[in-house]
Amino acid sequence: MTRMPITSTPKTATIDDAPLVSRTLARAFDDDPMMRWFFPDDSSRDAGLGRYFTTLFTRQYAHHGVCERTDAAAAFWVPPEGQEKAVPDAETIQELQDILGDRAPLFRDAVMAAAEHSPQEPHWYLAVIGADPVAQGQGQGAALLRSGLAKADAAGLPAYLESSKPSNLPVYEHFGFVVRGELELPGGGPVLWSMRRDPRPPAGA
């Protein structure tokens, strides 16, 4: 029996895609330093991450962001007009607190610390991007990154992201991002790097 090839063509992620998106991101972020800090228990991390990304996607980014997926990757972008609305409401915060348990205060402090370093200029924010490790090297994440950056470029706006995984920094630098800041998260958390990318003119312009 032949396996269907995994395609890397970006498509809009809808609420119906929540199981696929959350499963993909849970696998993608299993070794992420910040996610391991929020979910330190190896035995429950996969389930916790699945619930975490399901909540973020279905309650927040699917409504106020630009969410795309491939067969084995997903990305959540927030354009300038969606950034005020993309702030979690009280019910979403309660869900996240229930998922994070006694790590919830660390999560809250980390979010607040990162927010203080967010750029004030209009920008496209890459909130989440990840690819299932089984599809590593197949261009899944790169396709989603290019798709979002094309939208930012079309709007003539910079792009911004944060990463706690050092090995990802050269990948983002390859796409034009530059490290603009380094923040050690409160409570003994990992280092978070903020990165910015200037808009590029359309091809042929």
What is the model's pLDDT at position 194? Answer: 96
How confident is the model over 51-110, as pLDDT tens digits? 999 999 999 999 999 999 999 999 999 999 988 877 788 888 899 999 999 999 999 999
Map the chain to HEC letters: CCCCCCCCCCEECCHHHHHHHHHHHHHHCCCCHHHHHHCCCHHHHHHHHHHHHHHHHHHHHHHHCEEEECCCEEEEEECHHHCCCCCCCHHHHHHHHHHHHHHHHHHHHHHHHHHCCCCCCCCEEEEEEEECHHHCCCCHHHHHHHHHHHHHHHCCCCEEEEECCHHHHHHHHHCCCEEEEEEECCCCCCEEEEEEECCCCCCCC
Low-confidence ranges of the chain (pLDDT < 50): 1-2, 4
Rg, C-alpha atoms of the chain = 16
Domain residue ranges in the chain: 11-197
- Among 170, 163, 162, 158, which residue's Cα sits nearest to residue 197? 158
Burial class (CB in 10 A: 0-12, 13-18, 19+), 18: middle
How confident is the model at residue 115, as a pLDDT?
Answer: 84
Q: What is the structure's pLDDT at 1?
A: 43
Token reading at 15: 């609420």
133/126 Cα distance (integer angstroms): 20
The CATH superfamily holding the domain 11-197 is Gcn5-related N-acetyltransferase (GNAT) (3.40.630.30)
Give me the sheet containing 11-12, strands edge to edge: 11-12, 66-69, 73-78, 124-131, 159-163, 191-197, 178-184
Q: Are 144 and 41 in contact (CB under 8 A)?
A: no
